Structure 1
């Protein structure tokens, strides 16, 4: 379904309401990223309750501004994957250890229980799970600063 063949709005309860070209309304639709790490703005599916797709957006950047804003707002409210921008230091090269990092949401620290809590996602991305199950993203381990890369190399 083309991005212009539907309308999207919030109802009085804050739920997303999609109206398709035939005039059918779907209350409580949810955006789902097809490739949340590798291509977060490409391939957005809008699904109704039960997971049935009611609309598709090839590229979020090409969607009308009002629709794009609603989808981004909804995704940000549901997704929490801070991106590690810099690793300041780690308490030890042996696990468990505490990582002190700068993320896109500010400075934080977390405990890495075991080396296996660092997983490769695609060619250059990493997901790092802390001891509470929160995932942190390293979008491109080859483009992160030299100091951070040196620390990462010890754990990979």
Structure 2
């Protein structure tokens, strides 16, 4: 079911309700990104409370404005992946180590258990998992300042 064949609204309890073109209602749907890192605005699945896909949007930008706003609000409330903009300090070049970083959501401190917690997603993109299970994204290694790249290179 594509975006042009359903309607999406919030009920009085804040839950998303999807209504199909045939009138079928699904209460408590959850939007899920198919490719949250590689293509965050493409392939949005709307999943029922029972875990079944009940709606699909090929492009987030292709949704009608009121529906797009609801989906974006719901995704923002569920997702949290700060992007590292700068590595300020690393406690040690041997793991475990503590990193002080500046992210797009402010300063943060993460604990790296081992080099295997740094995953390459592409040539320039990294995903760093800290000891508490929080993921940090490096969108573009080349876009980092020289000091940050130098520190990061010691772990790659």
Band of TM-score, shorter chain? over 0.9
The equivalent of 1:38 in structure 2 is 38
- CA–CA distance in 1 between the matches of 2:62 and 2:143? 27
State whether structure 2 residue 128 is matched by structure 1 residue 128. yes
Q: Could you list the per-position Cα deviations for residues 2-53 of structure 1 after superposition, in whole angstroms to 9, with x for gaps in the alignment?
A: 3222111111111100011111110010001000110111100001123211
Describe the shift of the 1:62–1:145 C-alpha distance in structure 2 as closer, same or farther (beyond 3 A).
farther
Superposition deviation, residue 146 in structure 1: 2.6
The equivalent of 1:71 in structure 2 is 71
- CA–CA distance in 2 between the matches of 1:50 and 1:115? 38
- Could you tell me which runs of 5 or more consecutive residues in structure 2 were left unpaired when the two chains were aligned: none
The equivalent of 2:12 in structure 1 is 12
Describe the shift of the 1:50–1:123 C-alpha distance in structure 2 as closer, same or farther (beyond 3 A).
farther
State whether structure 2 residue 23 is matched by structure 1 residue 23. yes
What is the correspondence of 1:108-127 to structure 2 with a 5 Å cutoff? 108-127=108-127
Secondary structure (helix, strand or coil) at the match of 1:155 reads: coil
Aligned residue pairs total 156
RMSD between superposed Cα atoms in Å: 1.3
- CA–CA distance in 1 between the matches of 2:48 and 2:67? 16
What TM-score does the superposition give when structure 2 sets the normalisation length?
Answer: 0.93
Superposition deviation, residue 116 in structure 1: 0.9
- CA–CA distance in 2 between the matches of 1:122 and 1:30? 28
- Could you tell me which runs of 5 or more consecutive residues in structure 1 were left unpaired when the two chains were aligned: none
Superposition deviation, residue 124 in structure 1: 2.8
Secondary structure (helix, strand or coil) at the match of 2:69 reads: helix
- CA–CA distance in 2 between the matches of 1:142 and 1:22? 50
Secondary structure (helix, strand or coil) at the match of 2:89 reads: strand
Report if the CA contact (8 A) 1:38-1:122 is conserved: no
Secondary structure (helix, strand or coil) at the match of 1:4 reads: helix
What TM-score does the superposition give when structure 1 sets the normalisation length?
Answer: 0.93
